[in-house]
Amino acid sequence: MSLDILNQEPIRFLLSFGVVLFLVLNLAAIFTMAERKVSAYIHLRFGPNRVGPRGLLQPAADVFKLFTKENLAPSRADIWVFLAAPIAMFLPAALVWLVVPFAPNAVIADLNVAIVFFIAMTSIGALGLIMAGYGSRSSFSLLGALRGAAQMISYEVPLILSLLGVIMLSGSLSLVDVVNAQAGGFWHWYFLPQLPMFVVFYIAGLAEARRVPFDLPEGESEIVGGFMVEYSGMTWALIQAAEFASMGLISAITVTLFFGGWQPPFEFLDLGNFNWFWFGLKTSILVFTFQWVRWSLPRLRMDQLMDLGWKILVPASLIWLFVTAGAMLLLPSVF
């Protein structure tokens, strides 16, 4: 009875939004730690190992340092746009977590248009990037923002096209329905019939999260940090948090769409309400592959980026869309 008040609408929403915000903010700290450790092991180093056991408290030290740093803004900056940009980048990435199903019955908002919501929110991310680049009034920032906007507009197309196969197979735009349609062992997961779409989605997702090899908006060696070159202290930290949140988000959405969400790999491993373990495990593995790619591949050139997006990913996803549609039409018994 006492828990009923938590189910009342504004309280339930505020509570769950608070939980998701907590998760996303901490995710940024944890992913920073993971990033540094993974990079260190790939470089055959130890990585951070001074703060706490095996350096595990390093994120806390990082956050403390960032809080005490001064927030600098260029004197010629468009100050309101400059300060609003990190928020405009972070909020969309945080909001999409509302529709991600963590476990059976553990989804904050089971929208019947969750996939469209996800696409809409990722498309706002480009706006924050442009705001950051324009607001700083610096040439490097503007170049980074232009690159970022071009990249995110271009890679949105294959990202959306690669989702269509899953939508056709599951017949629903709700992420909960997509997960339920993949029940019963890993051979029912959509990454097998939709392998080309999965590859396209993964690459486009890397580009949307602006990870290496698609980090042209930052391009440390060319434009010294791109759109975030003028940021410092907590505004910079919020941009970093947004990037890590969107990396975790792309992994979580990939798991939900192509790897069965919280579905266990074999039916006898079903953990009931604790199936969030499978979701977390798969998401972590995917995040690790993102980091692995980051520390292994060089950055693409701008024209190579555009060629890859428009000449390879878009046709590939269109072809597999037709193959899926044809298979569903000719072999209705299989689907």
Partner 1 sequence: MVIAFVFLASMTLICSLGVVLSRSIVHSALFMSGAFLGIAGFYVMLNAPALAAFQVLIYVGAVTVVILFGIMFTQKPQARHFRTIISKQLWPGFFVTAGVGAFLAYIVTIQDWSGSEPGNGMRSVGQLGETLLGVNGAPEIFGLLFEVASVLLLVAVIAAIVVSRRKTGEGIDRGVEE
51 belongs to the binding site for partner 1 (CB under 8 A): no
The one-letter code for the residue type at 228 is M
302 belongs to the binding site for partner 1 (CB under 8 A): no
Please say which residue, 113 or 319, places its beta carbon nearer to partner 1: 113
Supply the minimum distance, in Å, between the C-beta of residue 271 and partner 1: 31
Q: Which of 20, 77, 126, 314 binds partner 1 (CB under 8 A)?
A: 126
What is the chain's length?
Answer: 335
Quote the distance between the C-alpha of residue 72 and its chain's center: 28
Site for partner 1 in 241-260 (CB under 8 A): none
Q: Which of 15, 23, 119, 321 binds partner 1 (CB under 8 A)?
A: 119
Q: Which residues contact 3 (CB under 8 A, 6 or more apart)?
A: none
SS3 (DSSP) at 335: coil
Q: Which of 145, 207, 250, 255 binds partner 1 (CB under 8 A)?
A: 145
Ramachandran bin of 54, using left for φ above 0, alpha for ψ from -120 to 50, beta for the remaining angles: left
Cα angle 208-327-198, degrees, rounded to a multiple of 5: 20
How many residues touch partner 1 (CB under 8 A)?
28
146 belongs to the binding site for partner 1 (CB under 8 A): yes
131 belongs to the binding site for partner 1 (CB under 8 A): yes
63 belongs to the binding site for partner 1 (CB under 8 A): no
149 belongs to the binding site for partner 1 (CB under 8 A): yes
Please say which residue, 28 or 176, places its beta carbon nearer to partner 1: 176
Bridge partner residues of 103 (DSSP)? 106
Q: Which residues contact 201 (CB under 8 A, 6 or more apart)?
A: 158, 159, 162, 163, 254, 257, 258
Site for partner 1 in 68-97 (CB under 8 A): 78, 81
Q: Which of 51, 57, 124, 323 binds partner 1 (CB under 8 A)?
A: 124
Supply the minimum distance, in Å, between the C-beta of residue 132 and partner 1: 12
Site for partner 1 in 167-186 (CB under 8 A): 173
Supply the minimum distance, in Å, between the C-beta of residue 86 and partner 1: 15
User: In this chain, which stretch among 24-32, 142-150, 294-302, 307-315 interacts with partner 1, using CB under 8 A?
Assistant: 142-150
Alpha helices, H only, 171-300? 175-181, 195-208, 220-223, 233-258, 276-294
Site for partner 1 in 98-117 (CB under 8 A): 111-113, 116-117
SS3 (DSSP) at 113: coil
Please say which residue, 81 or 321, places its beta carbon nearer to partner 1: 81
Question: What count of Cα atoms within 13 Å lies in the side-chain half-sphere of residue 52?
Answer: 10
285 belongs to the binding site for partner 1 (CB under 8 A): no
User: What's the token pair of residue 81?
Assistant: 């746009």
289 belongs to the binding site for partner 1 (CB under 8 A): no
Distance CA 169, CA 9 (A): 33
| Residue 265 preceded by cis peptide, ω within 30 | no
120 belongs to the binding site for partner 1 (CB under 8 A): yes
Supply the minimum distance, in Å, between the C-beta of residue 124 and partner 1: 5
279 belongs to the binding site for partner 1 (CB under 8 A): no
Burial level of 70, CB count in 10 A (0-12/13-18/19+)? exposed
Please say which residue, 29 or 152, places its beta carbon nearer to partner 1: 152
Residue whose token pair is 């769950």: 16
Comparing C-alpha atoms, which of 88, 83, 78 is closest to residue 121? Answer: 88
User: What's the token pair of residue 284?
Assistant: 């972590």
16 belongs to the binding site for partner 1 (CB under 8 A): no
Residues contributing to the site for partner 1 (CB under 8 A): 78, 81, 111-113, 116-117, 119-124, 126-127, 130-131, 133-134, 142, 145-146, 149-150, 152-153, 156, 173
